[in-house]
Structure 1
Amino acid sequence: MSLRLRDATPDDLGLVLHFVRALADYEKLLHEVLATEEDFRSLLFGTPARAEALIAEWDGAPVGFALWYHSVSTFDGRAKLYVEDVFVNPDQRGRGIGRAIFADLARRAVAQGCSRMEWSVLDWNAPSIAFYRSIGALPREGWTLQRLGGDALAALAASGDLNG
């Protein structure tokens, strides 16, 4: 039994989409997935690439993935690695695959001079929260995620500014 983590390639676009859909299904959000393989081609392999992904393989078979990108902390003046998605097939959990993915991402973050890694988790997802605590992650107390999208995003983008 062996685990291999490898960077995703353009040949993995269908696999990335598969894992995104599997994660969304697990989170009861499959109805929100609009992404296509072409969207991931642009995101991961466009110029510039906006994100990175890895594939986890167990004995040569794909069993999970991670997708991340870099953002910044203006408070410490450094980049941070933002983990957008991590997913391991439910029948493969408990083998250390998730821990290995997070350790790999942590090594990348340290090597790239990032001050931290961050990610979000649904508040009902107790198994994932317990896992995150086991690797030393803590919630960001006092902060809530805000989102602007769809019609509200378009309306704000179309609104005039004070100089307009």
Structure 2
Amino acid sequence: MNYIDCKLDEFKIRFAKEEDTVIILDFIKELARYEKMENEVVATEEILRDSLFNRKVAEVIIGEYENEPVSFALFFHNFSTFLGRPGIYLEDLFVKESMRGKGIGKIMLSFLGNLAIERGCGRLEWSCLDWNEPSIKVYKHLGAVPMDEWTVYRMCDKPLVNLAKEFQK
């Protein structure tokens, strides 16, 4: 596996492989528990394997401390019409509770920032729950700016199906 060494001893980052699907799903479930959204996880190993490794609609990096997976980030490219360039959208970043406070989240973000620059992206962006003060504090300390004037809208399930039918004859 191709590991990327980091400033934190014994911590390395690598891109996920198909055989990591179980690990990725476990991280997603841990994140959902932390966000009190366990009932919303419908992802399965099969869905993740298809989306991440067959269709390749998103990418995952895994952070390992002493060769054990302790963090993950799932991201994909978006596009800014104003910049005329792609960006990286960080969908999820999670560090196991026992590993928090060591700078692992910052290292993961730094890796993604470097990746964005390497890929010619104009920005790295993500969303954060309003109650997640520890993360918000870190993001602001790093120079991230909250987009307070924007509201995220989401459509799924029946409303999405209904919308899709709107243009059909």
Same fold (TM > 0.5): yes
Aligned pairs (5 A) from 1:9-158: 9-47=17-55, 49-158=56-165
Number of residue pairs aligned between Structure 1 and Structure 2: 161
Q: Which amino acid is the alignment partner of residue 46 of structure 2?
A: E
Q: Give the TM-score taking structure 1 as reference length.
A: 0.95
Deviations 1:85-137 (A, max 9, x none): 00000110111111110000001000000000010000111111111112111
User: What percentage of aligned pairs have identical amino acids?
Assistant: 43
- CA distance in 2 between partners of 1:160 and 1:60 (Å): 51
Displacement over 3 Å in runs of 4+: none
Q: Give the TM-score taking structure 2 as reference length.
A: 0.92
Q: Larger deviation: 131-140 or 24-33? A: 131-140
RMSD over aligned Cα, in angstroms? 1.0
Q: CA deviation at 1:36?
A: 0.5
Unaligned runs of at least 5 residues, structure 1: none
Deviations 1:69-95 (A, max 9, x none): 000000111001000000000110111
Deviations 1:35-92 (A, max 9, x none): 0011111111114x10000111001111010000000000111001000000000110
Q: Larger deviation: 132-141 or 109-118? A: 132-141
Q: Which amino acid is the alignment partner of residue 26 of structure 2?
A: H
Unaligned runs of at least 5 residues, structure 2: 1-8
